[in-house]
Amino acid sequence: MSSMTNDSVLRLEGLTKRFGGLVAVNNVSFDVQEGQIFALIGPNGSGKTTVINLITGIYPIDSGTVRFLGEPIEGLPSHRICWRGIARTFQNLRALPAQTVFENALLGKGYGKEGVGIWHTVLHSARYKEERAHNNEEIDEILEFVGLSDVRNERASQLPYGRQRILEIARALVTKPKLLLLDEPAAGLNSQEIHTLMELISSINERGISVLLIEHRMEVVGNLADWVFVLNHGAKVAEGTFDVIKEDPAVIQAYLGKGGK
Amino acid sequence: MARLKALRRSYAPLLLGIFLLVAPHVMSHYQFYVLQKGVQTAIHVLGLLILIGYTGMLSLGSAALLATGAYTYGILSVKLGLSPWLCAVAAVVFTTVVGTALAFPSFRLAGPFLVVTTVGFGEIVRILILNLEPVTGGAYGLAGFQNLLPTNMWVYHLMLVVLLLVAIGTERLGKSRIGLALKAIRQDEIAAEVMGVNVKRAKVVAFALSAMLAGVSGVFLANLTGYMSPDSFTGAESTTFLLMVVISGMNSAVAAIVSSIILTWLPEVLRFLASSRLLVYALILLVYLRINWVPSTKAAVTDLIRKLGFGKAGASGESQVGRG
C-alpha cells in the first residue's frame, strides 16, 4: 500500500503540537485511505488523542497540514470540520446525560449547516414537520443499525457504560461522516461488548465510512485494522500492517514490550 | 411518579389557563395588579428559560434589558409622541439588538466571568438611565406615555395571548433540533461543537430570543405601571428573575409561568418581613435544591452550578477533552 495515493481521505503532513515545553505531537505524517480502518496505537501519553483533537480543531495546530478529501481543514472551527464529514467519539463518555438516546442522536444533526431555522421551528411550519419526520426516520434507522432501538426514549445516563459508548458512535453516524474517529471505543468494555463493538465497526466500515481508530486492545486492532500507525512520545515509531507491526522490534520496545505478545 | 408526571403534564396548562382567565374577575383591584405583574414577568422569564435553562448562559443583567424595552417605549412615546404600537415595535427591536450584543462576550467568557459581565451590563444601563436625565427623567422617573390599549383588562388579555404564544413557542423550541443544540451547549459545549453545532451562532440566537422577550415584557411593564424609574431595574430584580427560572426546573414553560407568578406574589405576602424577606428567598432556594427530584431539573441546576466554577475540577474546558 503506497502512502501517497490519490484516494486518501485524510492526510496529515508534519503535524506538530507543543504544550509549553512538551512536544505532544512531533512532525507526524500519515494517510488514511478511503474505506480503510486505520489504527493509531501507542503507549499512554504518546499523543494519540492530541492527534484527534488537532484533526477535529479542538486544539490549534502549531505547524503542519491536515487535508481532508484533498482540502486543507486546519484552522477551521470544529463544527465546520464536522460538516465536512469528520465525526468523532471521545475517550471519556460525553453523551448528554440528561437527554434521551434519541435526543443524543439528534444532536448529530448539528445546528447552522442545514435544516429549517428558528421561526419554522417555533411555528411548526410544513417545512419543519417535513424535516422532523425525515430526521426521525433517519435517526431511528441508525439506532436500529447500532442496536439501540429498545432504549430510544431512555435517558442516556441510565444506559450501561458500554451502550453509552455505542450511543456516541450512533450520534457520530447521524452527522453522516465520511471519516469516523474513534477514541478508545473499547475502553472499559467487557469481552462480549467488545465483540459487539468490533462487529459494529466492521459494518460501519462496510457502509463506506473510513475509520481512524485509537485502541489499546490488541485483539481489536488485530481484527479490524488494515493499517497500523505507532506513535510514541508524539512521534512516529513505525507503520504497516498489524502482522508486520507486531514483529517490529522498535514497536515491541516502545509498546508491546510490557504485557504484549 | 410517572403517572403523576403525566397527569401534571396534561392538566397543569389547562388549570393555569383557567386560573389566568377567571382570576381577574374574582380578585381585588390590587390583587389583579399583582397578577398582571406576574404575567408580564412570566413573558420575560420564558426568555430566560431559553437563555439560562436551555443554553446555560447565566445572565444577571436581564433587568437591564427589561428596562431597555420599557424605557425605549416610554421615551419614544413621551418625547416623540409616536403611536404606542410603533413605540412597542421599536422597543422590542432595539432591546433585541442590545441583548444580542451581549452574546459576543459569551464567546470567550464562561462561568463566573460571563455572570460578572452581565452584572456590569445591568449596572451600566441603570446608571445611564439615572444620569441621562433630559431623556429618561433620571431618578424622577418617566411617566405620561400612551398605553397600547384603553383599559388594563384589555392589556391583560393581550398579555395572556402573547404569553400563550410565547409558551407554545418555547416548548416547541425545547423539543426541536435547535433546542437540543442549545441544551447541548449547557451540558457539554465541546461535544456540541464537534457534533456540528455552530455554538457561537446558537448562543447569539439564545441571547436574541431572550432579549426580544425582555423587550416585549418591558413594553407591557410600561403599560401596567404607567411610570418607570431606575429603581425598578436593579441587580436584585435580575436575581429574582434568575430565581424564577431555577425554581421552575428550567425545563418547562408552564412551570416557568407558575413560578414567575408565585414569586411575583411572594414579596406582597411577605411584606411584613420587610427586607428580611430576601432570607426567605434563600431558604426557598435551598429547600428546593435539596428536595429537587426531577432528574432533568437536577441536571440543569448542576450544570449551572458547575458553570459558576463550583463543580468538580475539570468539568468544563480543555481538561475534559482527554489525555494525549
ipTM, two decimals, is: 0.89
Residues of chain A with pLDDT > 90, as a percent, come to 78
Cβ-defined contact of B197 to A91 (cutoff 8 Å): no
Alpha helix positions (H), chain B: 2-26, 29-48, 62-75, 84-101, 105-108, 111-131, 133-136, 152-175, 177-187, 189-194, 199-225, 235-248, 253-269, 277-291, 295-307
Q: Nearest Cβ partner of A155 from B180, B188, B295?
A: B295
The per-residue pLDDT for B199 is 95
The per-residue pLDDT for B319 is 37
Per the domain annotation, does B71 fall within a domain? yes
Per the domain annotation, does A261 fall within a domain? no
* Confidence class for position A67, pLDDT limits 50, 70, 90: very high
Cβ-defined contact of A82 to B196 (cutoff 8 Å): yes
Name which residue leads in pLDDT, B302 or A20: A20
The CATH number linked to A84 is 3.40.50.300
The CATH number linked to B282 is 1.10.3470
Residues of chain B with pLDDT under 50: 312-324
Q: How far off is chain B from A175, nearest CA to CA, in Å?
A: 7
Q: What are the chain B neighbours of A106 within 8 Å (beta carbons)?
A: 177, 180
- Tell whether the model's pLDDT for residue A257 goes beyond 70: no
Q: Are B260 and B42 in contact (CB under 8 A)?
A: yes
* Alpha carbon B182 to its chain's center: 16
What are φ and ψ of residue A27, in 5° steps? 50, 55
Q: Are A107 and B192 in contact (CB under 8 A)?
A: yes
What is the rounded distance in angstroms from the CA atom of residue A251 to the CA atom of residue A228?
11
Q: What are the chain B neighbours of A123 within 8 Å (beta carbons)?
A: 169
- Boundaries of domain holding B177: 36-310
Query: Which residue carries 495515493 as its cell?
Result: A5
Average pLDDT over residues A244-249: 88
What are φ and ψ of residue A39, in 5° steps? -100, 135
Amino acid at A232: N
Per the domain annotation, does B25 fall within a domain? no
Cβ-defined contact of B179 to A121 (cutoff 8 Å): yes
Residue A176's contacts (CB-CB under 8 Å, 6 or more residues apart) are A85
Residue B105's contacts (CB-CB under 8 Å, 6 or more residues apart) are B114, B117
Per the domain annotation, does B324 fall within a domain? no
pTM of the full predicted structure? 0.89
Per the domain annotation, does B90 fall within a domain? yes
- Tell whether the model's pLDDT for residue A49 goes beyond 60: yes
The total number of structural domains that make up chain A? 1
The total number of structural domains that make up chain B? 1
Cβ-defined contact of A50 to B202 (cutoff 8 Å): no
The per-residue pLDDT for B313 is 40
Distances (CA, A) of A75 to A80, A89, A114: 10, 20, 22
The per-residue pLDDT for B97 is 97
Per the domain annotation, does A93 fall within a domain? yes
Cβ-defined contact of A183 to B322 (cutoff 8 Å): yes
Most B CBs within 10 A among A79, A134, A181, hence the mutation to make, goes to A79
Q: Nearest Cβ partner of A109 from B169, B177, B323?
A: B177
The per-residue pLDDT for B296 is 63
What is the rounded distance in angstroms from the CA atom of residue A65 to the CA atom of residue A42?
22
The per-residue pLDDT for B190 is 92
Q: What angle do CA A166, A168, A174 make, to 5 degrees?
A: 105
pLDDT, tens only, B157-182: 999 999 999 999 999 999 999 999 99
Which of B321, B191, B183, B316 shows the shortest CA–CA distance to A171?
B191
- Boundaries of domain holding A73: 8-256
Cβ-defined contact of B196 to A175 (cutoff 8 Å): yes
pLDDT, tens only, A79-127: 999 999 999 999 888 999 889 999 999 999 999 888 888 999 999 999 9
B→A contacts (Cβ < 8 Å), by residue, are 169, 172-173, 176-181, 183-184, 187-188, 190-199, 201-202, 205, 209, 295-296, 299-300, 318, 320-324
Query: Which residue carries 475534559 as its cell?
Result: B320
What are φ and ψ of residue B120, in 5° steps? -60, -45
Q: What are the chain A neighbours of B295 within 8 Å (beta carbons)?
A: 98, 155, 157
Per the domain annotation, does A3 fall within a domain? no
Q: What is the dihedral of CA B110, A167, A137, A35, to 10 degrees?
A: 100
B215, three cell numbers: 423587550
Q: Are B82 and B89 in contact (CB under 8 A)?
A: no
Mean of all residue pLDDT scores within chain A: 91
Cβ-defined contact of A79 to B194 (cutoff 8 Å): yes
B299, three cell numbers: 441536571
Instruction: Classify the phi-psi angles of B31: left when phi > 0, otherwise alpha if psi is within -120 to 50, otherwise beta.
Output: alpha
Q: How many CB atoms lie within 10 A of CB B251?
A: 19
- Tell whether the model's pLDDT for residue A9 goes beyond 50: yes
